[in-house]
């Protein structure tokens, strides 16, 4: 008989007995369909199959070394788990809702494949330490994937920054043009933010990388297990110290969602800028056809849907963080089935972030910047007023507060005349402050302004080019 043919038959057997073959010993009747519906997590926790199988293999191997399991039983279990992994990967595995979750689906299939030896795998283990281990492994992989995606994204941003180290644009505070900056500097600001996001996820990774396996249901086990070996086999730094904590807390998932939320917020802020900048009113960027969409009614429209969705999805990510925090807040130690609700937020956030990062990288990498427009805007709104005040401090040795006041008066004159500060005549300036001379014009253009911002972390093109180079070393190697 082929394995495939035997599968449905054995599954029917489970259903006919009514009670669970895995925990139904003390029950006379099986669960109602409603109970099954609320209890089952297989529809989503099937995503843990690789981690579950890796955990089972490490556990079985340890049981053999510790002589709790015979070598031949251990080999059968390893081979059976290999088969199951192939079946699930290739899509031939039939998941069964009545078997609740991924752990029981796999165990049940193992018993179909290797018979009652399968029942020995669960020696010195509970689903409680099993699921805690699986989810830690899954989040660890998710962090590694997000890290790669963020690194690729930073590469795009650094490339744009380098190209535009000297491209001038308005810098804003309160969304009012404040001082000229460079586009490269603006891009590198995001490189820093995403760099810290990577750092936060790494911190989370470091803290989560301890192994719950061997904690059993909650109290540990009477078998002479070797927790260090299972921890090492699964790439954990060490076993978790306290068995109750090991099965009880999901703080690592919360940390992942919190770091993910902040990353989502950074993406959202950037998305908001894409939305603003791509509007005809700003006209700073043109989103490529590949990342734009049209309107079904207005033929002229070119909408930034991708950016809007990234902005919108951050709400969903923050919602996931909230949802897990609320699930956990009233739980007494240790495990409660409430914790089964930990997975969907985690999966959804990992998926959503993966998509948003890739889309944002594509969108920014392909966007066209309207440099003339940005530069023209950068001088509007008296954005070099601070340069004038600084000149008064530096050259005329006037205290900054007074220089600020004098400059304010000059701005008022220019505003009334409808001209720029650089367009004021020297005599007009001197009527406000006698010590002003010709040299003042050297700081009034936007180029002069950005070139003068050479303080550490400042926007001077030379600084930005150097910062882009440094960012490559810091983030991309």
By beta-carbon proximity to ligand ARG, the closer residue of 154 and 320 is 320
Joined tokens for residue 45 = 């926790």
> Residues 96, 14: contact at Cβ < 8 Å?
yes
> Residues 372, 350: contact at Cβ < 8 Å?
no
Q: How far apart are CA 209 and CA 390, in angstroms?
A: 52
By beta-carbon proximity to ligand ARG, the closer residue of 130 and 449 is 130
* Owner of token pair 């018993």: 111
User: In a 3-state reduction of DSSP, which class is residue 118?
Assistant: helix
* DSSP letters spanning 42-92: HHHHGGGHHHHHHHHHHHHHHHHHTTSS-HHHHHHHHHHHHHHHHHHHHT-
Active site residue ranges = 174, 295
Least Å distance, CB 378 to ligand ARG, is: 54
Least Å distance, CB 123 to ligand ARG, is: 17
Q: How far apart are CA 157 and CA 65, in angstroms?
A: 50
Phi, psi for residue 94 in degrees, rounded to 5: -100, 115
Least Å distance, CB 337 to ligand ARG, is: 6
Q: Which of residues 305-324 bind ligand ARG (CB under 6 A)?
A: none
By beta-carbon proximity to ligand ARG, the closer residue of 104 and 446 is 104
Q: Judged by CB under 6 A, how many residues of this single chain contact ligand ARG?
A: 10
140 binds ligand ARG (CB under 6 A): no
340 binds ligand ARG (CB under 6 A): yes
Closest to 414 measured CA to CA, from 374, 447, 439, 385: 385
Stretch that binds ligand ARG, among 106-114, 150-158, 172-180, 335-343 (CB under 6 A): 335-343
Least Å distance, CB 250 to ligand ARG, is: 10
Q: Which of 20, 98, 112, 128 binds ligand ARG (CB under 6 A)?
A: 128
Q: Which of residues 88-117 bind ligand ARG (CB under 6 A)?
A: 101
Least Å distance, CB 149 to ligand ARG, is: 27
By beta-carbon proximity to ligand ARG, the closer residue of 156 and 339 is 339
Stretch that binds ligand ARG, among 66-74, 127-135, 187-195, 199-207 (CB under 6 A): 127-135
Q: Which of 53, 58, 77, 131 binds ligand ARG (CB under 6 A)?
A: 131
List of residues 6+ apart from 376 with CB closer than 8 A = none
Give start and end residues of each alpha helix (H) in 283-399: 305-329, 343-366, 371-378, 385-394
Closest to 189 measured CA to CA, from 163, 143, 154, 151: 154
Burial of 325 (0-12, 13-18, 19+ CB in 10 A): middle
By beta-carbon proximity to ligand ARG, the closer residue of 56 and 128 is 128
127 binds ligand ARG (CB under 6 A): yes
By beta-carbon proximity to ligand ARG, the closer residue of 46 and 266 is 46
By beta-carbon proximity to ligand ARG, the closer residue of 335 and 391 is 335
Stretch that binds ligand ARG, among 88-96, 125-133, 411-419, 441-449 (CB under 6 A): 125-133
What's CA 124's distance to the chain center, in Å?
35
339 binds ligand ARG (CB under 6 A): yes
Give start and end residues of each alpha helix (H) in 209-304: 227-233, 243-248, 251-278
Closest to 48 measured CA to CA, from 290, 267, 268, 343: 343
250 binds ligand ARG (CB under 6 A): no
Q: Which uninterrupted H or E stretch holds 180?
A: strand 176-182
By beta-carbon proximity to ligand ARG, the closer residue of 128 and 261 is 128
Stretch that binds ligand ARG, among 146-154, 221-229, 336-344, 378-386 (CB under 6 A): 336-344
Phi, psi for residue 285 in degrees, rounded to 5: -135, 155
CA distance between the termini of the chain: 54
What's CA 71's distance to the chain center, in Å?
43
Least Å distance, CB 205 to ligand ARG, is: 21
Q: Could you tell me whether strands 176-182 and 168-173 are parallel, antiparallel, or unpaired per DSSP bridges?
A: antiparallel
Least Å distance, CB 102 to ligand ARG, is: 7
> Residues 391, 444: contact at Cβ < 8 Å?
no
Stretch that binds ligand ARG, among 124-132, 196-204, 276-284, 381-389 (CB under 6 A): 124-132
* Owner of token pair 């599954």: 11
Q: Which of residues 171-230 bind ligand ARG (CB under 6 A)?
A: none
20 binds ligand ARG (CB under 6 A): no
**Quick count: other Cβ atoms within 10 Å of Cβ 414?**
19
Stretch that binds ligand ARG, among 81-89, 279-287, 293-301, 334-342 (CB under 6 A): 334-342
Quick note: the x/- pattern for ligand ARG over 35-64, rule CB under 6 A, is ------x---x-------------------
By beta-carbon proximity to ligand ARG, the closer residue of 84 and 339 is 339
Residues contributing to the site for ligand ARG (CB under 6 A): 41, 45, 101, 127-128, 131, 335, 337, 339-340
């Amino acid at each position: 008989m082929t394995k495939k043919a035997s599968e449905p038959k054995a599954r029917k057997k489970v259903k006919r007995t009514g009670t669970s073959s895995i925990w139904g010993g003390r029950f006379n009747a099986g669960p109602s369909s409603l109970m099954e519906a609320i209890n089952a997590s297989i529809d989503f926790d099937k995503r843990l199959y690789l981690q579950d199988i890796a955990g089972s293999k490490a556990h079985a191997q340890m049981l053999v070394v510790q002589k709790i399991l015979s070598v031949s039983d251990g080999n059968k279990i390893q081979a059976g788990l290999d088969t199951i992994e192939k079946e699930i990967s290739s899509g031939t595995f039939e998941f069964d809702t009545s078997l609740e979750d991924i752990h029981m689906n796999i165990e049940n299939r193992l018993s179909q494949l290797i018979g009652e030896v399968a029942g020995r795998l669960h020696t010195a283990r509970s689903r409680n330490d099993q699921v805690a281990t699986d989810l830690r492994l899954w989040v660890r992989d998710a962090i590694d994937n997000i890290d790669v995606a963020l690194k690729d994204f930073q590469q795009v941003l650094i490339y744009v920054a380098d190209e535009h180290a000297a491209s001038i644009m308005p810098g804003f505070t309160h969304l009012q043009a404040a001082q000229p900056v460079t586009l490269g500097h603006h891009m590198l600001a995001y490189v820093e933010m995403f760099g810290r996001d990577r750092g936060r996820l790494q911190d989370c990774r470091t803290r989560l990388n301890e192994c719950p396996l061997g904690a059993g249901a909650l109290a540990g086990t009477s078998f002479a297990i070797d927790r260090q070996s299972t921890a090492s086999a699964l790439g954990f730094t060490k076993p978790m110290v306290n068995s109750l904590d090991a099965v009880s807390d999901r703080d690592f998932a919360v940390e992942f969602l919190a770091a993910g939320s902040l990353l989502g917020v950074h993406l959202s802020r950037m998305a908001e800028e894409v939305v603003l900048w791509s509007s005809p009113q700003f006209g700073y960027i043109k989103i490529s056809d590949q990342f734009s969409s049209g309107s079904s009614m207005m033929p002229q429209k070119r909408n930034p849907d991708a950016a809007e969705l990234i902005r919108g999805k951050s709400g969903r990510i923050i919602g996931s963080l909230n949802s897990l925090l609320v699930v956990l807040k009233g739980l007494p130690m240790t495990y409660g089935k409430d914790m089964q609700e930990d997975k969907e937020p985690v999966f959804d956030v990992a998926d959503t972030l993966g998509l948003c990062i890739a889309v944002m990288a594509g969108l920014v990498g392909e966007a066209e910047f309207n440099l003339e427009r940005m530069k023209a805007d950068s001088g509007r709104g008296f954005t070099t007023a601070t340069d004038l005040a600084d000149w008064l401090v530096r050259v005329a040795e006037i205290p900054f507060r007074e220089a600020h006041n004098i400059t304010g008066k000059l701005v008022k004159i220019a505003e009334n005349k409808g001209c720029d500060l650089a367009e004021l005549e020297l005599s007009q300036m001197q009527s406000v402050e006698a010590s002003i001379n010709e040299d003042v014009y050297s700081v009034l253009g936007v180029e002069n302004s950005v070139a003068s911002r050479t303080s550490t972390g400042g926007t001077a093109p030379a600084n930005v080019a150097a910062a882009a180079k440094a960012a490559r070393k810091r983030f991309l190697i």
